[in-house]
């Protein structure tokens, strides 16, 4: 295992990942997972195998060129990630299943590169990386929420905010602090540390709001313009998000209604709900940061993934039309 001593706010570590014998879809998933390493301050380049040194080699099991590359990599003590095959344990050899989604590949890359689990945290003010994509707070928090998910204290600028996934709330001194923090979820200049459960300091007049709405609005905000592509895979909501204070987000509510029943890729969800793919991917980031969106191991449920109308569709449609469900737009 390589050990990178990288954390947020310091110079970005760079790794070079070379691949041999990958199919196009496998290469795409490797690229997505590699890009998500930026969440941990690691800038990964993905290039085809050319016989030169690299940080990690990725090959497809059984590929002839890949096998030659593996032999050379092993002589150089370069770790190898094999996609598919039997997965025989060997020093420096790591394996993922042939159809492993990017999120799973990311986890293996983290293991290989020695990136510690969970969200890297900082104890004080951080240095901006200057690259929003490399350290977008929303992506970091989404990764944290889908991992350990422990509550966090965060500071952006002079604004303090508490992320309480355990109770589904965000807490700040004022509403304007909540808005200020939400509009900076696409930025890197966040200081984050675990929230001590034994010190639930309760300042008078603090306000709280739905963490689900907070992250969803943050993801949909034009301030978060450089969110990375959402990892490949099929996802499902574990519970309905609390969108009560966001009555304008009608499409997101419909998307939630779909994902609570149907595991779906972003593309499938976009097709089923009629939402633009970019909006679905942004909503996926928001739901994931809220800790509600989980990768589904199962196949797509239902024959089409399309929503089914209830027993009395005429009545349902009349009510839906009256309450703005059929003509809603986010």
Provide the minimum distance between the beta carbon of 234 and another protein in the complex, in angstroms, as a whole number. Answer: 19
Q: Which is nearer to another protein, 25 or 176 (CB)?
A: 176
Among 65, 97, 267, 307, binds another protein (CB under 8 A): 307
Q: Which is nearer to another protein, 5 or 198 (CB)?
A: 198
Provide the minimum distance between the beta carbon of 299 and another protein in the complex, in angstroms, as a whole number. Answer: 21
Provide the minimum distance between the beta carbon of 279 and another protein in the complex, in angstroms, as a whole number. Answer: 17
Provide the minimum distance between the beta carbon of 245 and another protein in the complex, in angstroms, as a whole number. Answer: 6
Among 253, 259, 275, 280, binds another protein (CB under 8 A): 253
Q: Which is nearer to another protein, 300 or 317 (CB)?
A: 317
Query: Going edge to edge, which strands form the sheet with 159-164?
Result: 190-194, 152-156, 159-164, 169-172, 207-210
Query: What value, to the nearest 5°, has the Cα angle with vertex 107 and ends 48 and 102?
Result: 55
Question: 305, 262 in Cβ contact below 8 A?
Answer: yes
**Helix or strand or coil: residue 72?**
helix
* DSSP assignments along 199-210, one per residue: -----TT-EEEE
How big is the site for another protein, counted in residues (CB under 8 A)? Answer: 49
Task: Convert residues 180-219 into a mask of x (bound to another protein by CB under 8 A) and - (unbound).
Answer: --------------------x-x--xxxxxx---------
Q: Which of 122, 90, 17 is nearest to 59 (CA)?
A: 17
Q: Which of 113, 152, 77 is nearest to 5 (CA)?
A: 113
Query: Going edge to edge, which strands form the sheet with 80-83?
Result: 42-48, 13-20, 56-60, 80-83, 93-96
Provide the minimum distance between the beta carbon of 313 and another protein in the complex, in angstroms, as a whole number. Answer: 10
Among 67, 223, 257, 294, binds another protein (CB under 8 A): 257
DSSP class of residue 102?
H
Among 106, 156, 246, 280, binds another protein (CB under 8 A): 246
Only segment of 131-139, 226-234, 242-250, 279-287 that touches another protein (CB under 8 A): 242-250
Provide the minimum distance between the beta carbon of 214 and another protein in the complex, in angstroms, as a whole number. Answer: 12
Between CA 88 and CA 293 the distance in angstroms is 32
Neighbours of 48 (CB within 10 A): 10
Q: Which is nearer to another protein, 71 or 245 (CB)?
A: 245
Verify binding: residue 329, another protein, rule CB under 8 A: no
Between CA 290 and CA 195 the distance in angstroms is 16
Q: Which of 172, 164, 178 is nearest to 205 (CA)?
A: 172
Provide the minimum distance between the beta carbon of 319 and another protein in the complex, in angstroms, as a whole number. Answer: 6
Verify binding: residue 274, another protein, rule CB under 8 A: no
Question: 245, 115 in Cβ contact below 8 A?
Answer: no
**Helix or strand or coil: residue 196?**
coil
Provide the minimum distance between the beta carbon of 259 and another protein in the complex, in angstroms, as a whole number. Answer: 11
Q: Residues in the site for another protein, rule: CB under 8 A?
A: 165-169, 171, 200, 202, 205-210, 238-240, 242-248, 250, 253-254, 256-257, 260-261, 307-312, 314-316, 318-325, 328
């Amino acid at each position: 295992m390589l050990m990178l001593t990288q954390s947020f706010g310091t110079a970005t570590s760079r790794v070079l990942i070379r691949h041999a014998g990958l199919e196009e879809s496998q290469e795409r998933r490797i690229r997505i997972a590699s890009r998500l390493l930026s969440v941990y301050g690691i800038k990964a380049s993905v290039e085809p195998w050319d016989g030169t040194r690299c940080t990690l080699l990725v090959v497809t099991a059984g590929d002839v060129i890949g096998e030659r590359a593996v032999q050379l990599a092993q002589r150089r003590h370069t770790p190898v990630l094999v996609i598919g095959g039997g997965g025989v344990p060997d020093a420096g050899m790591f394996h993922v299943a042939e159809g492993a989604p990017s999120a799973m590949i990311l986890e293996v890359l983290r293991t290989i590169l020695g990136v510690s689990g969970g969200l890297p945290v900082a104890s004080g003010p951080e240095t901006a990386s200057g690259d929003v994509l490399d350290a977008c707070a929303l992506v970091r928090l989404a990764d944290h929420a889908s991992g350990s998910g422990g509550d966090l204290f965060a500071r952006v600028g002079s604004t303090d905010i508490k992320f309480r996934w355990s109770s589904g709330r965000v807490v700040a001194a004022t509403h304007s602090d909540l808005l200020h923090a939400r509009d900076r979820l696409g930025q890197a200049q966040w200081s984050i540390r675990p929230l001590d459960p034994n010190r639930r300091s309760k300042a008078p007049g603090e306000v709280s709001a739905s963490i689900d709405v907070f992250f969803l609005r943050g993801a949909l905000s034009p301030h978060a313009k450089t969110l990375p592509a959402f990892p490949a895979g099929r996802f499902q909501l574990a519970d309905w998000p609390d969108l009560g204070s966001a009555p304008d987000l009608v499409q997101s509510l419909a998307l939630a209604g779909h994902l609570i029943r149907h595991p779906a890729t972003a593309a499938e969800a976009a097709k089923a709900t009629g939402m633009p793919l970019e909006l679905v991917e942004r909503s996926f980031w928001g739901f994931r940061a809220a800790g509600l969106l989980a990768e589904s191991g199962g196949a797509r449920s239902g024959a089409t993934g399309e929503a089914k109308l209830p027993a009395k569709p005429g009545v349902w449609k009349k009510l839906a039309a009256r309450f703005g469900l059929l003509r809603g737009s986010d």
